[in-house]
Copies of this chain bind each other. A is one copy, B any other.
Amino acid sequence: MAFDGFRPLDEKILVEYLKATPSLAAKLGNKFDGFEIKEVGDGNLNFVYIVIAPGGSCVIKQALPYIRCIGESWPMTQDRAYFESSTLQEHGRLCPEHVPEVYHFDRTMCLIGMRYLEPPHIILRKGLIAGIEYPLLAEHMSGYMAKTLFYTSLLYLTTTNHKISRYCGNVELCKHTEQVIFSDPYKVSEYNRWTTPYLDADAEAIRVDNILKLEIAELKSKFSERVQALIHGDLHTGSVMVTTESTQVIDPEFSFYGPMGFDVGAFIGNLILSYFSQDGHSNEGADRKLYKVWILKTISETWNLFHTKFTALWDKHKDGPGEAYLLEIYNNLDLQLLIKKKYMDDLFHDTLGFGAAKMIRRIVGVAHVEDFEWIKEANKRADCERKALNFAKTLLKDRRQFHNIGEVVSAIELFDTR
């Protein structure tokens, strides 16, 4: 059976494909009896098949040529499978402990074969909605972000190795991000939605807020024009699979050379969304007060550990190949402290800005989050969303006034009690 063109997978085709592909067949122990195949993709962007055989397992992900939830009118390049596979491999090389191994990539079929993240791995967002604490989450995510961002930046790479043209091609997904995060929520768009009628005035207020628009323009310009590191590009809590011991980052199809704060902000912004959604889930039996404290602690620790680990990598490689700050120039301790403080302050403010932008778009833009969507009573959901939205607006506008993550956490608590 030949696969010389793109064919959408079904179970039959998948089985033939697995048999015909040595790298995948080997992962299944080369035995094709007693197979179990399950399609688990949300079907919006990709097919995702879990394959469990007596001799092993794998996940097969195939990119489809459009976003199914919106319709074929919003096509999405299948090249994203190439960028996803490239970044899984590159980030996996830098941080194998938190990135699933890639076994196989087929550009024509837009197909990635990779490690199956076995139970009890679940999507972090679902764990947060269920109120499950992950004691190692901040430790793990800070390590993943510190390694992937530091090692793909000019702090570690030479200019020649940094400006790789490989990711220039991922424009279509960047363009999608630009539209849904930096544009649509700030204008009338057929794709926008919100908890109506409760948030009608709130959504309208965003569309007439000049200062907010000025700030989002600055972030959009950074997103489009700043080639800082190979970022994941979509690092929300739905792109992370967890158990209490393991943290695995998946789905980097939006990856490109962009601003680091976009990744760190995506993760922290989604933790803040989770925080503000908790009151909507607290009547389901469990009291979420302590859980909210844990989320805030996780937010603090994520940034603080990221800061510690990132700057430790910088120290470790200060006489390495990185070309941003040559040791011959930045040759005294005072100066090294100055540049580090400036760099990390900028990254902190980028993180807050992008985090806030990600929160806003999840409440009044096209794609919402289950954290809020699963709150059935609309008025209750709207109350949670409004608090999150008001906090995000302040964070976006006043981000440069925050000096550390502790001040951010205090502000979250303040907006929660308003």
A residues contacting B by CB (< 8 A) are 154, 158-160, 162-165, 168-169, 171-172, 174-175, 178, 183, 186-188, 210, 213-214, 217-218, 220-221, 224-228, 323-326, 328-332, 334-335, 338-339, 342
Contact = CB atoms under 8 A, between A and B. Distances in A.
Contact of A154 (B159, B187, B221, B325): B221
A154 B326 contact: no
Contact of A210 (B218, B324, B325, B332): B332
Given A168-B168, A214-B335, A227-B225, A326 B183 contact: yes
Contacts of A328: 187-188
A233 to B, nearest CB: 14
Contacts of A224: 154, 159, 162-163, 227, 323-324
Give the number of copies in the complex: 2
B326 A187 contact: yes
A335 B213 contact: yes
7 contacts: A154-B221, A162-B224, A163-B171, A217-B325, A217-B339, A218-B342, A224-B324
Which 6 A/B pairs are nearest by Cβ-Cβ distance? A165-B168, A187-B328, A210-B335, A187-B329, A186-B329, A159-B175
A217 B183 CA distance: 32
Nearest to A211: B338
Nearest to A159: B175
Nearest to A229: B225
B174 A163 contact: yes
A186 B323 CA distance: 14
A334 to B, nearest CB: 6
A326 to B, nearest CB: 6
B175 A160 contact: yes
A217 B159 contact: no
Nearest to A332: B210
A213 B329 contact: yes
B163 A165 contact: no
Of the candidates A154, A159, A225, A325, the one having the most CB atoms from chain B within 10 angstroms of its own CB is A225
Nearest to A226: B225
B160 A217 contact: no
A320 to B, nearest CB: 16
Given A168-B165, A174-B159, A174-B163, A339 B221 contact: no
A332 to B, nearest CB: 7
Given A221-B324, A329-B183, A214 B342 contact: yes
Contacts of A165: 165, 168-169
A221 B172 CA distance: 26
Contacts of A214: 335, 338-339, 342
A151 to B, nearest CB: 16
B174 A338 contact: no
A245 to B, nearest CB: 37
Contact of A159 (B159, B169, B171, B324): B171
Contacts of A332: 210
A328 B185 CA distance: 11
Nearest to A153: B225
A338 B210 CA distance: 9
Contacts of A218: 342
Contacts of A326: 183, 187
A181 to B, nearest CB: 13
B324 A217 contact: yes
Contacts of A227: 224-227
B154 A323 contact: no
A342 B160 CA distance: 32
Contacts of A158: 175
A172 B165 CA distance: 13
